[in-house]
């Protein structure tokens, strides 16, 4: 197994371009998105308190938002801050708004999301029609008021990019091993199948660990991405996600006969997972499609990263995501050992 690890590291050392792709490409894309990221379209749900001024409510209803009045018979919620927050956390509402003598108070879940931007502009439009001088005060359950879209979506980019590149590199090098006949030669040596899979996972795992660490540090210290929680925890989640990418890449390569066919798995394996990474709000998906996310490693990776980077959770808050990633690694590890039976039963 050690031999395999040394070999993979040597091969990568000799193939500087692939090594550069692994590290520079994600950094390049992150930097580009940092500069480009725009806002999306979404109809936000706003909850307002019972004593909300009716003139403002009328104007707000004219905007492209769904307004619910709290405290009436159908929705008997009082408006203490804690209960307003639980409404936001349960994703029953995107914003809770009340008005007092200081002006309009808006509380949302996270800062800088596209939802937040839409809600802000809707409220501004409504308020300007009624009382242009009223002040607006924003507060957030998680995150700070100065967050940008890049910051609030950074976790998606980190997770998806690292998965994507590691998946490709591991899939292709395994296919190449079969194509050139070296796998057959490998299986004619006394090496155990578990050592082949272990060596592969560990060899590429080490490389992707380096990649993950560099990307996270670059995002944090060069691009200034916000990390409310510990940076090391984000790195650990990234490394685990990269390990799942290695295993899945190797597994998928069994069904590919050449490098090009590995590429064909990108729309099948990588792209759908992107949709469930937090890029689109999962709980608004129709037909219960959101449940598919439970079968996707990228979902756990990204939701773990979101919890650490935006909500500031520690290890206690993300242990489920960590465990699920470990489960994926283990399952594909075992599948790969069985898949190698195709080359040697012993």
* List of residues contacting other proteins (CB under 8 A): 2-4, 6-7, 10-11, 14-15, 180-182, 184-192, 343-346
**Shortest spacing between CB 175 and other proteins, in angstroms:** 14
Would the CA dihedral through 32, 38, 42, 43 be positive or negative?
Answer: positive
* Nearest to other proteins of 6, 334 (CB atom): 6
**Other Cβ atoms within 10 Å of 78 Cβ, number:** 11
**Shortest spacing between CB 166 and other proteins, in angstroms:** 18
* Nearest to other proteins of 203, 249 (CB atom): 203
Alpha carbon distance 217, 189 (integer Å) = 41
**Shortest spacing between CB 189 and other proteins, in angstroms:** 4
In three-state secondary structure terms, 175 is helix
- Cβ atoms of residues 33 and 157 within 8 Å: yes
* Nearest to other proteins of 38, 190 (CB atom): 190
Alpha carbon distance 338, 254 (integer Å) = 11
**Shortest spacing between CB 188 and other proteins, in angstroms:** 4
- Cβ atoms of residues 266 and 284 within 8 Å: no
Q: What is the DSSP letter of 47?
A: E
Residue 214 CA: distances (Å) to CA of 37, 204, 297 = 22, 15, 21
Alpha carbon distance 73, 327 (integer Å) = 45
Instruction: Single out the residue of 162, 199, 207 nearest to residue 9, CA to CA.
Output: 207
**Shortest spacing between CB 185 and other proteins, in angstroms:** 4
| Angle, helices 16-36/149-179, rounded to nearest 10 degrees | 160
Alpha carbon distance 343, 338 (integer Å) = 10
* Nearest to other proteins of 144, 192 (CB atom): 192
Instruction: Single out the residue of 68, 81, 65 nearest to residue 119, CA to CA.
Output: 65
**Shortest spacing between CB 195 and other proteins, in angstroms:** 9
**Shortest spacing between CB 165 and other proteins, in angstroms:** 18
What are φ and ψ of residue 136, in 5° steps?
-115, 130
* Nearest to other proteins of 2, 91 (CB atom): 2
In three-state secondary structure terms, 142 is strand
* Nearest to other proteins of 135, 189 (CB atom): 189
Output the furthest CA–CA distance in the chain (Å, rounded). 81
**Shortest spacing between CB 170 and other proteins, in angstroms:** 15
């Amino acid at each position: 197994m050690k031999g395999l690890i040394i070999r993979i590291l040597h091969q990568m050392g000799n193939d500087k371009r692939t090594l550069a792709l692994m590290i520079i490409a994600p950094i390049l894309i992150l930097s580009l998105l940092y500069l480009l990221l725009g806002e999306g379209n979404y109809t936000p749900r706003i909850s307002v308190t019972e004593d909300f001024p009716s003139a403002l409510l009328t104007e707000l209803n004219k905007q492209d938002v769904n307004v619910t009045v709290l405290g009436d018979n159908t929705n008997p919620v009082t408006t203490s801050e804690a209960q307003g927050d639980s409404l936001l956390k349960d994703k029953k509402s995107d914003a809770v708004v009340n008005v007092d003598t200081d002006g309009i108070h808006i509380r949302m879940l996270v800062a800088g999301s596209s939802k937040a931007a839409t809600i802000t502009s809707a409220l501004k439009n409504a308020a300007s029609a009624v009382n242009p001088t009223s002040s607006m005060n924003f507060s957030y359950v998680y995150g700070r008021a100065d967050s940008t879209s890049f910051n609030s979506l950074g976790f998606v980019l980190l997770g998806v990019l690292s998965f994507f590149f590691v998946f490709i590199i591991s899939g292709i090098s395994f296919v190449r091993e079969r194509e050139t006949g070296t796998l057959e030669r490998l299986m004619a040596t006394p090496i155990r199948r578990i050592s082949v899979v272990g060596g592969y996972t560990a060899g590429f795992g080490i490389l992707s660990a380096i990649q993950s660490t560099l990307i996270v540090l670059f995002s944090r210290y060069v691009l200034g991405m916000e990390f409310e929680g510990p940076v090391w925890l984000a790195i650990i989640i990234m490394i685990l996600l990269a390990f799942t990418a290695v295993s899945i890449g190797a597994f998928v390569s069994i069904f590919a006969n050449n490098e090009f066919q590995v590429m064909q798995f990108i729309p099948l394996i990588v792209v759908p997972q992107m949709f469930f990474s937090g890029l689109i709000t999962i709980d608004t998906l129709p037909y219960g499609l959101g449940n598919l996310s439970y079968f996707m490693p990228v979902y756990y990776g990204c939701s773990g990263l979101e919890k650490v980077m935006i909500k500031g959770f520690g290890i206690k808050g993300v242990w489920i995501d960590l465990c699920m990633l470990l489960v994926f690694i283990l399952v594909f590890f075992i599948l790969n050992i069985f898949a190698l039976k195709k080359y040697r039963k012993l």
